[in-house]
Structure 1
Amino acid sequence: MDTMRDRFAPVVSRLLDEDPRVAVVLAEIGKDGFAEAMRRHPERVINVGIREQLLVGAAAGLALTGLRPIVHTFASFLVERPFEQVKLDFGHQNTGAVLVSAAASFDWPAGGYTHMAPGDVALLDTLDGWTVHVPGHPDEAETLLRRAVAAGDDKVYVRLSVQANRQGRAVDGERFLTVREGRSGVVVAVGPVLDAVLAATEGLDLTVLYATTVRPFDTAGLRRAVQGADTDVVLVEPYLTGTSTAAVSEALAEVPHRVLGLGVGRRELRRYGTVEEHVAAHGLDARSLRERIGGFVGAGRASVRA
């Protein structure tokens, strides 16, 4: 199976051919995939070099001229390093773009902590008006990317990862999908953690919701899911632990509930290792998730009986 990032350049190259508003801004990373597109559209495929603040500033300038820029580099260089430009050049100037990241939380462990960005979604949460897509499969990435480009002049972040579920699902960029139904609680699995969540909850009486768009958060979908079920909610995200727990609490503000946020911990892992070892170290593998989810939901039922 190709990766989400393998799919990125071909899809965007076709969008450049199809839509004269589309532009691409790069900072060295990913430029080889756009060599042919740059020859066809030299005025709309721009490589600024290793200058991430300029990457965002140039994209905002293109947006002000009426173009729809797609901006791409590693998440740590797209959201964290040029955050002031993201805040001011897009937010303060009230313009938009499609930011498409690679490397996710720890997709390239050998690159070290400079190339890891588990806090990217939480950081964007400090700003107003961002749509955040977290696809879990290359097919979903293509769907959400096309939707993001077509979203007028909105501010959209698409988070690509080498981690992926075995199958893509029919996502619409808005609503959570109900993958499994149960009565003892709800687990919200975000993007590429779905397969691990399904394995972890096999045989448990739990509803599993699949989220590939986390901002705006599908509050109506979560409220429907907790009707007739215990209001224990477990949120499993492939980035910083607890990033969306406030969104869950806001959605269920009028409903007594408990929420457990699972994700990438704040403790820095200082050895390279493999992606799989990082997943296990953060407790996001199926075995760890089963222990943590089962313990939380089981404890909730025990407290109710008491």
Structure 2
Amino acid sequence: MRQTFVDTATALLDDDPRTAVVLADISGAAFAPAARAHPDRVVNVGIREQLMLGVAGGLALTGLRPIVHSYAPFVVDRAYEQIKLDLNHQGVGAVLVSIGASYDASSEGRTHQSPGDVALFDTLGGWTVHVPGHADEVGPLLTAAAAHDEPVYIRLSTQHNAEGRPTTGMQTIRRGSRAAVVAVGPMLDTVLAAMEGLDVTLAYTNTPRPFDVKGLRALGHSDVVLVEPYLAGTSSAVVSDALRDLPHRLLSLGVECVDLRRYGSPEDHARWQGLDAAGLRQSISAFVAPGGGPARGRG
């Protein structure tokens, strides 16, 4: 996904004189050829993430379309105030593209983890959030985001599905009778493995904001399991509001709001969080069983 992002952003710099890229050292080497070709529109501010967002806001005010890039905890958590003030408050947009996701860089420790990034954008409102599940989804999402002036966040991950599904909105993968399971971005293949033999509907989205409420309701289930690769419960209010006129049950699965104080691999963290196939199967099976309730997560 990261290489596809670099390639697509470089092509946009070549093709669209309105496009600019703002970095804070991360991926600086990958964008070096683009910086040589477009020194006025590839800006590397060094290890100054807050400044990176300030520069992006200034570029947007001049009519450029800035693409801002770093690890999620640096571009979102660390620079949240600048996102709020230099973009939202100024009434301008940018395309923020992160790597690292919730725990892709778990070997670097807690400083490189950002499970709460999407929840932070919910406090601002008005942001489109894309969580691609495959590299083939990155190019179309970034190209579309660069073509307008609204605020967009694209969350890249090293975890990925076997097949790309570039269409945004709710996509039905398979039908069942017991409940609807909605997998966000790179969680799809793990959810598929967890659901083997379960009589449930499976849907996929790479765009949790704005959430496809119409698509969710079209699934036709009042029992819903939401599996997101970031903080558990991030989209629970949106889903509950979408079903507010119906008696419904919701199980929200994701990264728990707890600091594990561990390193380990991304696979270790998925297992510790119950987000591997075995953990998801246990949670989903208990929820859809007759008389079942939420086994873990937020319901």
Task: Give the corresponding residue for 1:214.
Answer: 208
Matched, 1:291 2:282: yes
Q: Which residue of 1 aligns with 2:92?
A: 95
Paired residue for 1:186, among 180, 184, 192? 180
Tell me how far 1:300 sits from its aligned partner: 4.2
Q: Is the 8 A contact 2:286 2:292 kept in 1?
A: no
What is the identity, as a one-letter code, of the residue corresponding to 1:157?
Y
Shift of 1:299: 4.5
Cα distance, 1:261 vs. partner? 0.4
The residue type paired with residue 238 of structure 2 is A
What residue identity is the alignment partner of 2:254? G
1:232–1:300: 8 Å Cα contact kept in structure 2? no
Q: How many residues align?
A: 293
In 2 relative to 1, CA 267–299 (structure 1 residues): closer, same or farther, beyond 3 Å? Answer: farther
- Residue 157 of structure 1, aligned match among 150, 153, 163: 153
Which position in structure 2 is the counterpart of 1:199?
A: 193
After the TM superposition, which residues 133-172 of structure 1 pair with which residues of structure 2 at under 5 Å, given as runs?
Answer: 133-150=130-147, 152-171=148-167
Distance in 2 of aligned mates of 1:36 and 1:91 = 31
Aligned partners of 2:76, 2:26: CA distance in 1, in Å?
Answer: 15
What amino acid is the match of 2:236? T
Gapped regions of structure 1 (runs ≥ 5) = none
CA distance in 1: counterparts of 2:110 and 2:166, whole angstroms: 34
Q: Residue deviations 1:128-184, cap 9 Å, x none?
A: 21000000000011221111111x11000000000101111232x3x1110011111
In 1, Cα distance between the equivalents of 2:14 and 2:252?
A: 42
Q: Name the counterpart of 2:271.
A: 280
The percent of aligned pairs where both chains have the same amino acid is: 59
Return structure 1 stretches of 4+ with deviation > 2 angstroms: 299-302
Q: Given residue 59 of structure 1, which amino acid in structure 2 is its aligned partner? A: A
- What SS is found at the alignment partner of 2:219? helix
* Structure 1 length-normalised TM: 0.94
Cα distance in 2, alignment partners of residues 94 and 121 from structure 1: 20
Tell me the secondary structure at the aligned position of residue 24 of structure 1: strand
> Quick check: 1:22–1:68 contact (8 Å CA) kept in 2?
yes
Alpha-carbon distance, 1:31 to partner: 0.5
Q: Structure 1 270/251 Cα, relative in aligned 2: closer, same or farther at 3 Å?
A: same
SS at match of 2:178: coil
Alignment RMSD:
1.1
- The residue aligned with 1:86 is 83
CA shift for structure 1 position 204: 1.2
1:176 pairs with 2:170: yes
**Aligned residue type for 1:248:** V
Residue deviations 1:83-130, cap 9 Å, x none? 111001111111000000000000011111011000000011001210
CA distance in 1: counterparts of 2:127 and 2:153, whole angstroms: 7
| Aligned equivalents of 2:11, 2:84: Cα separation in 1 | 29
* Paired amino acid for 1:244: S
Q: Which runs of 5+ in 2 are unaligned?
A: 294-299
Partners of 1:181 and 1:202 in 2: CA distance: 13
